[in-house]
Structure formats: C-alpha cells, structure tokens
A and B are shown apart, each in its own frame.
Chain A
C-alpha cells in the first residue's frame, strides 16, 4: 500500500549532516544539568518567556543546541509547546519564570492534561530560602499546577535537578501522555554541581500497560465478530500511540465502520468508505446514528467525554462496549466497559486482530451506515451572493490544500466548522483544544505546529473572539517568519455562545456580540504579517491562494454571515440519535 499514515517530518533528517557544535559539554551548575537533561532527551525547541527566577536556566540555554522561541505571553508558550507535542509526538517544552510566568502557563497545562498531550514545563522559582515567605514573584507553582499536570516536581538539590527534568520528560511521553512541570528555585539552578542527569526514565510506579489481558481479548473478539451492527470509535489515543496504520488495517480487514471522536480526527481517513465521521455534539448525522444504534462498539483510545456521549443514558444503549485504553482509570469511568482492554492502542488492536477468526456478518449494517451518510451529509445553504458562508471558506481551503496540511483552531463555531468541512486523512493534522475548550488556542498553536512540522502547510482557523485573546503571538510568527495562514471566521460575536443564547436562552444575547472589533487584516499588517480582507464569496479562492502564496504569516479576515449556526447539534446531555439539523428540530427534542 502506498498510503502513509504518518507524515514524515523534516526535522528528523535535517540536522544529521551539519551537526552544530553547540550543546552543554561541561556541567558546573544546576542550570547546565537542566539543559543537558533536555538535550539528552532530544529536545530541539523551547517556547518561553524570560524572567527573574528563570534567568539562570536561560543563561545555560545560551550555550545549548536547543532553539528557543520567545513568545509574547506564557500562555502562548504553553499552547505552542502543546501543539508541538501533538504534531511531533514528543513532549513540547514551555519555559516561564516564577509567579505570573508560572500562573500564565496554567491554562496551557490544563489544556494539555485534558487532551493527554505530551508537554514539559519548566518554571523558575524564588530561592529556597525565600519559598513560603511570599517573596517577590513567588507563587506555589507545584500546588497550583498539581491538578493540571500528570506529575510535578519541586527541585531542591542542584545535584539532582537534572534528574528531575529527565524523569518529568519521560513521564510526559510515556504511558498516557500528558503535561509535567519542574519548578526550579533560583539557588538550585545557580548552585554548583558536576552531576550529569540520568537518562529519561519513568519511575516504577508509573503505569505503562502495553498488552491487554488475553482472556478478555478473546472474549471481545468473539463479541465483535458475532455483532450484527459493529462499530469502531477511534479516539485521540489511536493517534497518540501511532496506531492509525493498525486501525486502518483492522477496520478494513473486518469491514467495520469507523466513527471518530474530535481528538481522533485523522486517525482514520475520512474519505474511506468505512468512515462515518465524527460523533458527538456537532458530529455527523451518520456517526451519531451509528453510535446510537450499534450493538457492539469498540472504543479505542477514548475517554467517552460528555461532548461525545451526550447523555450517558442514551449513549450506545444496545451496545456491548469493548474499551481499549491505556489508562485503567478511564475504564468504566463514564461508560461501563463490558470488555476492558487495558493496553497500548496499537498493541491491543494487533491482539484483537490475532484473536478474530472471521469478520462480523454486517452487510446490512454497513448499507445502513451508507444510507445515513447519504441522508445526512454535512450541508449548508450557499447563497448566490453575500453573505459569505464560513463553511464555504473551510471547504474551499480544504480543496486547495494538500491532504497532509495541519489544521489548528481556536474554540467555538469556527472550530466546529473546521471539524466538519475539512477532510482529515492523516493523524497529527488536527491540532485543537478538544477537552478544555480554550479560546485563544489558535494563534500560538499554529506556531508550535509549524515549528514541529516545518515542511508541512499549517492553517489556523480562528474566530474573532478566540483570535483577540492571543493575537499578540502574531509578533512571534512574524519574527520567526513562519509560513502560516490564519483564517479568522469573523462574525463579530462569540458565536457559539450566541447560538446557545438564541437556542436555549430566548435570544437574550448577553455579552456575546463584539461590535467595534478591530480590522484584523490591518492589525496583521501592523504586526508585520500580510493581511487580507474577505467578504465576497467570489473572492474566496483567490484570497486563499494569495494568502498561501505569501511566504510568512498571513491573516485573512473573513467577514462571514453572522446568522450562521453550527448543525447538526445534540444539545448538552441530549440523545445523540436525536441530533437537530436545524433550529426547528431543537424544539422537537
């Protein structure tokens, strides 16, 4: 097969020949040990903001091979590192100083925690003698970040500070991925040591299951091959464990329709006959019908989040649930698993493949899924003239761009249109704030994605509300001359909130409309990026082409129909099978 599941990345091949001589070659301080630990772990990029307590670490970075990208705000550093982690699979590195630097990272850490994105954060801290005294720029960083990290460390010894960083890096990457943080007091990083850090290894207590229980695998395989309406639900874990190839093989071998979650976009090619699309609140009609009516659901690398399940009472209520998942705590957390398969997604799929003796007899079901796909295409009304429809903008860009183009987004309506009207073919091409729903994720995430995959096209679909939250990071894209195309689907509103107000709050639009919004094309030019203003549907293609051709960051301010809403829609806690196709349907369910 000529298809490739993973996009080859340039950075792996690039710097083998002309190896730079830079790098830590001698250790005299804790800081050098910190940087040596990162170099040893293969870190190539850091995203951060300088500041008092982290200065010793930055000083050691001066001699390092690591390329540091100064961000405009620590939140930007965290999101860029997170996106870098999504795109490369390796932990992205964010750095910040103590106090406000550290607290500014918190949103990004929480975002990474929700989406199990590999990421490591280093924060400066006041000297240990001052800790606890409410010193200048002191904050209890490990206390604040405890609930939003996999694990965090307060380093208290210059001899072992590098080991802490190594372990934190390994923890971010192994098992169920996630963010870790090491808090670095200034006296510890400045303090003398000659200790080289240990290699990155996880502690023994860390759970890293690989193979699922063979007995349950056998039973699950039997359930699956006897199912009449089998379906696979592919989650973000498929991508995280590089199981996309195995999933393609498995689904095709046994002819089982594949539904994806939002983080699972790209885990299975949407052009495949077996693909029924994304399920959940704004999923496709076919996916929501399939997930509601299946009699055997194989969930792989998914945590059955509420935006996916809707009300759990009506989620796949006829289905035996086979749950392949690396984190034991996700088993039966939201949806009871009849067949819990705790292990790495790729390996568990191989085990299931070995255990299957035949494909399920499901011709009728596959036909039914196809009927649903025909009956419920993602559609929108395209007027002959204005106003400009956001879906058309996304669709047109998708047609012009290569299949491996990376899409990043902010959060809101534009994000849903980017899910729905872009065709995802490959893993690691969907970079979004899925679980936390962080508005402002778009601008910095595109920067992280571009640095992680420098030879792949990166487009960021953003909303006007999201864009305004982190627009300052455009300065970074300009400084680094990153070839990113930003498309702001501008409806002068926090559109998703406004949609809910119209649907569920009797149209009382409180604090959801944004009059006096800046002209983003001009704002982009002020930053030194290229700005385009797009209002005419006839100019969509030309404008996108011009923005893509510009070598550097370009911003298209697309003034879209403010009345456009996102459908299909399953109201919060609703029944997936009763998704609304329009506002009238909302009244029926």
Chain B
C-alpha cells in the first residue's frame, strides 16, 4: 500500500528564492548586482594570479578589474579586485578567495575607499598644446611626444578616466591602456589592524 501520490501529500507553506534564501512575503528581497571592491593580501609567489583569476572564472564571478603588485617587500602582494555581483555572490567570492592557500587576508573596501586607476592615452600629434591642455584639465600630463603622436598619463577614479578618454576623442585616439583599480581604505585603518575576520561573516 504505497502512500499518497505527489498531488495528495502534505505540503509546506513557504518558499525560497533562486539563491536559496527563504522568501518573506512581506519583504521580498531580490539581490541586485552591485560593485564591490575586494582587497586581498596574498603571498607574492608564482601562480597566485592564476589561482585567483581561475577561481573567479570557474565560479562565474563577474570581474570588472583585477590588479596586483608587490607590497612592502615582505614577500606579499596586494590584489584589488572589482566585481559586480548580487550580495550573496559578493560574500561567496570573499569566502572562496579566503580559501586559497596563498591568500592571507581578504576584505571588502568601503565605498568611500580611495580608488585609483591609471590610463595611458596615445593620440594623434597634430595639436600637442591642445592635448596638454586637456590632460591638465584631468590632472594628467603628456609623458611622450613625437612627430605624429602624443601620449598622456591620467590617474584617478574610473569615472574620471572614462571622462578623460571621452575628452581625448576629439584628437583621434590611437591607443588606450588602463590598469584597473588599485584601492585602499581611507584613514589609519589597514588590513593588518582592522581586517574583518571571515569566520564571523555569514
């Protein structure tokens, strides 16, 4: 005597969303993607960049930029990773990063954190003075000039660089190269003294 068929069984009343979160009918929360700046202190050793980029690609985290460079000369490097993910994805990215053995610490920077990227923009060289003038408007400078081309360097937030690139379009841009963001928390807080511990995060 088999028990009730599927349509005659006891049913629960609740439901979860596709992220496995129980849905409260009063306050349904669907997480929209947001930008998050993750800063990771890692061991400066071969393969780290590949481990981190491999992790992000195989778990389908949406990377906007990733920069890496050595730090104080103690064998560590700092990575700044800008991702665009819904809240659970941001948390998951932090936790997966922390699992990698060469990763020493991970934190998400506050939105007020200082973020800088650098762009080198090579434009046609007909009007070098005008190019220099525009560069200065963006706090940049011409760093190389030849008969046919001028290269300027601009540093700043992503928005500022976007605007600068747009402004240089009047000169016929030959090439643009950008670094992606490097970011640090404002004030005296550092990763060594103020890093959030992952263990207490949900």
Assembled-state Cα–Cα distance A313/B91 (Å): 20
Contacting A205 at CB < 8 Å: which of B17, B95, B103, B201? B103
In the assembled complex, which residues on chain A have CB atoms less than 8 Å from the CB atom of B186?
none
Contact A588 B6, beta carbon cutoff 8 Å: yes
Assembled-state Cα–Cα distance A316/B20 (Å): 10
Contacting B199 at CB < 8 Å: which of A143, A147, A205, A342? A342
CB 8 Å contact bits of B1-42 with A (1 = contact, 0 = none): 111111101111111111111100000000000000000000
Decide yes or no whether B179 CB sits under 8 A from chain A: no
Shortest distance between the CB of A133 and any CB in chain B (Å): 17
Assembled-state Cα–Cα distance A379/B9 (Å): 19
Number of B positions contacting A (CB below 8 A): 45
Contact A317 B2, beta carbon cutoff 8 Å: no
CB 8 Å contact bits of B64-82 with A (1 = contact, 0 = none): 0000000000000000000
Contact A142 B47, beta carbon cutoff 8 Å: yes
Within 8 A of B (CB), among A316-366: 316-318, 327-329, 331-337, 340, 342
Decide yes or no whether B160 CB sits under 8 A from chain A: no
Contacting B9 at CB < 8 Å: which of A205, A317, A578? A578
Decide yes or no whether A151 CB sits under 8 A from chain B: yes
Decide yes or no whether A391 CB sits under 8 A from chain B: no
Decide yes or no whether A486 CB sits under 8 A from chain B: no
Contacting A578 at CB < 8 Å: which of B6, B58, B202? B6
Contacting A206 at CB < 8 Å: which of B10, B22, B101? B101
Q: Contacts A577-B11, A581-B2, A589-B6 given: A205-B104 contact, CB under 8 Å?
A: yes
Name B3's closest neighbour in chain A (CB-CB). A375
In the assembled complex, which residues on chain A have CB atoms less than 8 Å from the CB atom of B96?
329
Assembled-state Cα–Cα distance A142/B198 (Å): 27
Assembled-state Cα–Cα distance A375/B1 (Å): 7
Name A579's closest neighbour in chain B (CB-CB). B6
Assembled-state Cα–Cα distance A588/B202 (Å): 38
Decide yes or no whether B187 CB sits under 8 A from chain A: no
In the assembled complex, which residues on chain A have CB atoms less than 8 Å from the CB atom of B14?
317-318
Assembled-state Cα–Cα distance A334/B19 (Å): 7
Tally of contacts, chain A with chain B, CB under 8 A: 120
Decide yes or no whether B86 CB sits under 8 A from chain A: no
In the assembled complex, which residues on chain A have CB atoms less than 8 Å from the CB atom of B2?
375-376, 379, 581
Contact A328 B15, beta carbon cutoff 8 Å: no
Most chain B beta-carbon contacts within 10 A, residue among A314, A317, A372? A317
In the assembled complex, which residues on chain B have CB atoms less than 8 Å from the CB atom of A53?
none
Decide yes or no whether B51 CB sits under 8 A from chain A: yes
- Interface set of A (CB-CB < 8 Å, partner B): 142-143, 146-147, 150-151, 154, 171, 203, 205-207, 209, 213, 285, 289, 292-293, 304, 309, 312-318, 327-329, 331-337, 340, 342, 368, 372, 375-376, 379, 577-581, 585, 588-589
Given contact pairs A317-B14, A328-B95, a sample of 13 additional A-B residue pairs in the complex whose CB atoms are under 8 Å apart: A147-B58, A209-B199, A292-B12, A313-B18, A314-B12, A318-B13, A328-B99, A329-B99, A332-B92, A336-B22, A375-B4, A578-B7, A578-B9
| 27 A-B pairs (CB sep. < 8 Å) | A146-B50, A147-B58, A151-B100, A151-B101, A171-B101, A205-B102, A205-B104, A207-B99, A213-B199, A285-B3, A293-B10, A293-B12, A309-B20, A314-B16, A315-B16, A318-B13, A318-B14, A328-B95, A332-B92, A333-B92, A335-B20, A336-B19, A375-B1, A376-B3, A577-B12, A585-B6, A589-B6
- Interface set of B (CB-CB < 8 Å, partner A): 1-7, 9-22, 43, 46-47, 50-51, 54, 58, 88, 91-92, 95-96, 98-104, 198-202
